[in-house]
Amino acid sequence: MERHGVDAATVSDARALHEASAAILPGDGAFGATMAALGARGLDVAVDAFIERGSPFLGICVGMQLLFECSTEFGGGTGFGVLHGAVERFERAPRVPHIGWNHLEPLRAHPLLERVGEDAYVYFLHSYRAPLVESAIAAATHGERFSAIVANDNVMGTQFHPEKSRLAGARLLDNFVRFAKKAA
């Protein structure tokens, strides 16, 4: 995040998260295992409190999926429930996992999408997808349409990896930093 003009730190305990003014929860792995790892450190409760206090929060990939109520991955799991719906495995995709570049379909204007562009392609790596919900500000299609970016007040999430999505991803991260600075 230094590239974005932010003094960032990786936190592994609830107290450090409580002291943060904004947070990004990256994700790489399975829904249930990620929630269990957060719970083992008390970070599940800390993330809930962080979101509840209105601090800017960005979930990436599994980090976005955890914002939903639940997932069917590996027998199921409960998420933070900030967004309604279940994260489920692709059913009509040409191949699973969905790996690679895909077109981002903006659904409505939002500060997170400023300067990202309507012709943006972003990098995905996932087998499970969030449903297309009211809080989606962008979608993508891989055999079926799904939420690619969600935004609900201070809580935002991307199903794709902005850090691997070149210019579009860099702009999105810049936009989150601007959003967080305005909220501070």
Q: Is 70 marked active-site?
A: no
Per annotation, catalytic residue among 2, 4, 61, 84 = 61
Per annotation, catalytic residue among 69, 88, 105, 163 = 163
- Reading the block at residue 48, the tokens are 């809930």
Q: Is 98 marked active-site?
A: no
Where in the sequence numbering do the catalytic residues fall?
61, 161, 163
